[in-house]
Every structure is written in structure tokens, then in C-alpha cells.
A and B are shown apart, each in its own frame.
Chain A
Amino acid sequence: MLKIKNLKSSIGEKEILKGINLNVKPGEIHAVMGRNGSGKSTLANMIAGKETARITAGSIVYKGEDLNEKTPEERAMDGIFLSFQYPVAIPGVNITYFLKEALNAKRRYFGKNELDAATFLKRIKEKLELVDLDVSFIKRSLNEGFSGGEKKRNEILQMLMLEPDLAILDETDSGLDIDALKTIAQGIQKYKSPQRSFIIITHYPRLLNYVKPDMVHILIEGKIVKSGGPELAIMLEEKGYTWIEKK
């Protein structure tokens, strides 16, 4: 699904990612853990095609194709989804309208008809239930005045609607209370399938109690210093990052 080879990137003169290797197969859940500032969001943004950071070496290959030449829209069409750490507000644009635009853009791209209003509504109602949101929610302006929890649920709602093959969740668990965390975890569990892959970025092992990862990677200062199974997350929870840094 996704192969990242020796990826190096810089913002301005500063090197942020210093040779990342990552191999995500269909159906796998990978957790990327690391402290603030270690480069997790930069990695996520680069997969999605944001140009803040510049690739200086290495490659990102998705479904057998180098992503380098692809625009963010093309990557989205091909099934890459990023649940943003800080979802931006778009005042005056309600969720219904936004999601319709997004869904129909994708359908047009694949030569399908636009979705009719009734089907759309039926589908979104099902997904709303999964993330425990009321129907009235979709009339609100995108991320405007949303609580932290609402923002994250909305990201998961979009994931469920857009049906990506690779979902990157950038700290979707941060700042959530335990109920919201469980809801989000449930959304992920429901969405999981042998064809779909996840990269779950987090700096707490909390979410991983509910969604079991196949692999855990620990990112420190732009490098994956350790990879392992779910037990790595548990070790981290007990001993903290300093334990790894000391080694």
C-alpha cells in the first residue's frame, strides 16, 4: 500500500525528517509515536502532499506509484485521507455542502454520477450515528466554533463518508475525554478491513488500548529509532520516551 524509503525533508534550511523508512501493507494498522516536534505531522502532511516541507531525498510510493508528481487532490482521489491534527475552519460552508462537494469531486473523477440528495442523506445519517453525532451537526459551518471533540469526530465522519484506502490519523485522539476516545476508536474499528490501512499518529499510547496496531514506530527528531509490535506501546506507557532515548 505505502512504501516510504529513506525520506528526508526540510522546511527552509532546517532538516525535519532525517531518513524515514516505513512499509504499510493492506489491512495493517501502524502507529507512529513520538513527542511534540519530532516530525509526525510533517510526515503525515508529506504523504498527503502539503508543500510546506520539501523532499530532499528518498521517495513515497503509494499503490506502486511515486507520489512526488501528484497533487494533493490526486492523492485524495486515489484513496489517501488525512485526519488533521488541527482541522481548519471554513466559515459559512456547512458540512453537508462541503462533503457533497468532496464526494462528488471523487465520483466525477471516477466517471460516476453525482450522488442524489436522498442517498447522500441516508448515508451520512448512518455515519453520524457511528461517531455519535446528531443530524443537526451537518448544518454547522465546517469546524467553526467546534469543540476539540467535535472537530475530531467530524474528521472521522469525513473518513467514513469518503472511504479512503489509507487513512492517516494525526493525533485524532488528543484532547478527547474517554467517551469520545471510545467513539473514535469504534469508528476506526468499524472501518477497518483487509483492504484498508491506517497510520495512527499519537503521542499517548491511550488510543492503542482500543485499536490494536500491527506495528508501532517511535519517531525521535525526524528518525524512526525503534519499531516493534503492540508491546512497544505498552513499554512506552510504563517507561516513557526517556527510556528509549537512553538506549
Chain B
Amino acid sequence: MSQSLDILEKRIEQDYQYGFVTDIEQETLSPGLDEDVIRFISEKKNEPEWLLKWRIKSFNGWKKMTEPSWANLQYPLINFQDISYFAAPKKKKELKSLDEVDPQLLETYNKLGIPLEEQKMLAGVAVDAVFDSVSVTTTFKKELASHGIIFCSFSEAVQSHPELIKKYLGSVVPATDNFYAALNSAVFSDGSFVYIPKGVRCPMELSTYFRINAANTGQFERTLIIADEGSQVSYLEGCTAPMRDENQLHAAVVELIAHRDAEIKYSTVQNWYPGDEKGRGGIFNFVTKRGICLEENSKISWTQVETGSAVTWKYPSVILKGDNSKGEFYSVAMTNNFQQADTGTKMIHLGKNTTSTIISKGISAGKSQNTYRGEVKIMKNADNARNYSQCDSILIGKECGAHTFPYIDVRNATAQMEHEATTSNIGEDQIFYCNQRGISEENAVSLIVNGFCKDVFAKLPMEFAVEANKLMEVSLEGSVG
């Protein structure tokens, strides 16, 4: 083996840059799950009776289900009775402004390089900061409210707009859609809610930073975004988590609903703690994300940059129900050390002239396993449906794996399908070319990987694109020399 590959394979030691624990008093429920726990959560949140019933129904459904085993993932069995299902930072009093937020919490965000206040001033981004399970602060609410936009924590929305929650909750991801979604539906803690009224273009990117910070506490986020007729919204979700020894379960559900002529762009930079270089610890991330293009000419676009978590199980999907609707999935998934990712998308074409685009870039380093799993379904009535899929994988070193499983199910003869897939190693020739021009090994790898991801990064909102580049560099650190 040549020296350059040798060095590449040594790129394994890497400290999780964001691994620290914030010392904030937590109100935590002791581990275990039964109907009483669900009643406790619901009561804590002062939820209406119908929502409690919905949770209990989900719980009963979940009890009859088993964990899916079809993914290309290996991890120890999760004992769901060992998990605590409720944790909230203790609020000392009602928070009226950012100044009243626990300074230690703000400090945490500062360490992450996402200072709320700076962001508020400079970027004009409305930030709904979710710390553990309870929203601590919401900014820019007034500006948004002047457009009739609702952007708040999920619990808040349950109180202030129960009719919207009742109408849309579970309408895209049914309560018992899958094992993890059912669990989430039973015990979800909090999350974000967005409603964009008819004809309104949301004047700013909506952004939420999530953070897991309670030992042994499952994180069950619930997000619901509704874009009414002719409206537009771009939502950013990003997260990092502190260093932990024990595995932490994360099972979020995100539902998106786009009405006629509406457009939702949902971007994620995911950097949960991936475990150490020996594969110990790290987040288990089982996420159900799905959007529906409910009516004509609507569009839903998922963009994700996934560099974190020990185990990722995630398939942001689009149901193309309305005629002429569009679904997009742009993904970069990077795994290092012992990380495992099984991720991809589903595009379900129901309406006529519906189109979907899938661009997936997988990067595997260390001893990691990186799987793309995608399904494109063209149903009987979906005349002239079109799909373009491109799945590229790149390998760094010789001990990692890249796998591609595209499933195609076409039930209408007018469908047009295009699929391309490539797998390559970072070539010694590419690295030597860079070296010959004076670019070091490490910078060469980062350059090549960022080039490889460019088509996807180009789909990210500006501020995220910069962050994504940085994240790739951090994630690749230690993979070279």
C-alpha cells in the first residue's frame, strides 16, 4: 500500500469537538415506559383529552410492533424501559427576553459557534432553540406574526392552535407508521410548529437548533410544518450533542404539508455525537421525516448533511399526491470510525406529471458503513411521472464500506426513470496531483470531499453551506496524518 493511503487510514482519531456537558438543573422522569408515563407527559403539558388519547392509541400500537431489522445496521438491543421519557430544564421564571435565558445555556450555544444573539442581529434568523425537550426561548415571533406566520414550540401550538394540530398531526406519518414513529407519537416531548398562511412567503429562514443534554434521556422531537396555498418557507434544522458514554436514543418525527402552489424547503445539518474512535457511545438516530405535496404544483425539498450519530436510520420522503408536484432529496452522508448510516429517501408518485429528484453523496472513512437506501414508486394513476436519481459514494481507506440499495416500483408505463450510481476511492492520483501543486494530504482530502459534495451543498441556504463545509472538515479531521 502506498504511503498516502496508509496515512488516510490513520485518519481515525478525532475528538468530538462539541463534546461537553452543560450543567443545568434538570427535571427528569425516572426511566421506564407505561401508560402512566404518557399521562404524566400529557398532563405536564396541559394537553387536551384528544391528544392524550392519540398518544395512548399510539402507545398501544407500538407495544404490538417490533423494531425493524431490515436496515444495514448493527447495534445492541435497546431496552426501552431503561430510558427516561421526560426531561426539562427547570425554568426559574417566565422568560420575556433573551437576557433572561440561563447564561450557561447561552454559553453552550456560544461554544457551538451559534450565539443566539449574534445570529439574531446579524443573520436575521428567527431561532427557536430547543434545549432538551422544552423550548427555552423563541425570537422574532412578532415579525413573523405580522405576516400571520406561526412559528413556535409544538407544545405552545397545542395550546394556541389546537385546531391546526388536530387537523394535521399524524396526517403524513400515521401514529403507527413504523416502530419509532409510533414510539414518538406516544411520548413526544416537544419540537417545532410552523404554519405559513395563504400566499405568504416567509421573510426569513426559520431555524431550530436541537441539542441533547440529559444523560440517558430519549429525545422525541415532533415537528409539523404546514404551508398553505401559494406560500413558501425554508426551514433549517441543525444540531450537535455533547460527548456521552451511553448510547442515546433519538426518534424524531417530522411532517410537512404543502398545499396548492406551496413550497417547503427543509434543510438539516446533523452532527449528533458519533461515538468515540473505538465506536463507544454516540447517538442512535431513528428518524421519520415525510412530506406530502397535497395539491397541485406544490413542492417539497429535503436537503441533509449528515455527519453525526453512531447509528442513523433516516429516509426523508415525499408523497407526490397533487398533480405537477415536485419532490427533491439532496443528501450528504459522511461516516467515520465505527459510524453506521442507513439513509436515503422515498418518492411516492400518485399525481400526474409529478417529478422527483434524488442526489445522494455518501462518504465513508475509517471502519464505517454507509448505506444508501432509496425507493421510487410510480403508482397506477401517476401519468408522465419522472424521476432522476444519482447516488455516488466515495471511500477513504480500505476498511470502510459503501452500499447502495435502490428500489424501483413502476406501475404506470408512461413513467420516465433515470438512475446513475458510482462508487470510487479517493484516488491516489488525485491526492498526488494536489500534493504536486503544494497542497497537503489533509487539505487535499478535504478539497476532494467538498468537491464531491458540491451539488448538494449548493442546495443549502448560504449560512448553512458555510457551516456544512466546516463540518466536513471537522468530521474528516484525524482521517489524515
Contacts and interface: CB of A to CB of B under 8 A. Distances in A.
Consensus secondary structure, chain B interface:
helix
A82 B438 CA distance: 11
Interface centre among B4, B437, B439 (most CB of A within 10 A): B437
A220 to B, nearest CB: 27
Interface stretch (B85-93, B211-219, B369-377, B440-448): B440-448
Nearest to A45: B432
Contacts of A75: 436
Interface residues of B, number: 24
A102 B430 contact: no
A98 B447 CA distance: 8
Interface stretch (A22-30, A85-93, A201-209): A85-93
A97 to B, nearest CB: 8
Contact of B437 (A91, A97, A141, A158): A158
Interface stretch (B103-111, B257-265, B401-409, B452-460): B452-460
Nearest to A88: B429
Given A93-B448, A162-B438, A101 B432 contact: no
A231 interface: no
Residue picked from A72, A102, A105, most chain B C-beta under 10 Å: A72
Interface in A14-64: 48-52
Contact of A92 (B427, B438, B443, B451): B451
A101 to B, nearest CB: 5
Interface string A88-120: 101111000110011001100100000000000
Given A92-B455, A93-B450, A93-B451, A51 B3 contact: yes
Contacts of B430: 88, 90
A237 interface: no
B435 interface: yes
B433 interface: yes
A77 B2 CA distance: 22
Given A48-B436, A72-B435, A105-B440, A92 B3 contact: no
Interface string A72-85: 11011100011010
A71 interface: yes
Contact of A73 (B429, B438, B452): B438
A127 to B, nearest CB: 15
B3 A105 contact: no
Contact of A102 (B4, B437, B453): B437
Contacts of A71: 435
A77 B436 CA distance: 9
Interface in B420-436: 427, 429-430, 432-436
Interface in A136-163: 141, 158, 162
Interface of B: 2-4, 427, 429-430, 432-440, 443, 447-448, 450-455
Interface of A: 48-52, 71-73, 75-77, 81-82, 84, 87-88, 90-93, 97-98, 101-102, 105-106, 109, 141, 158, 162
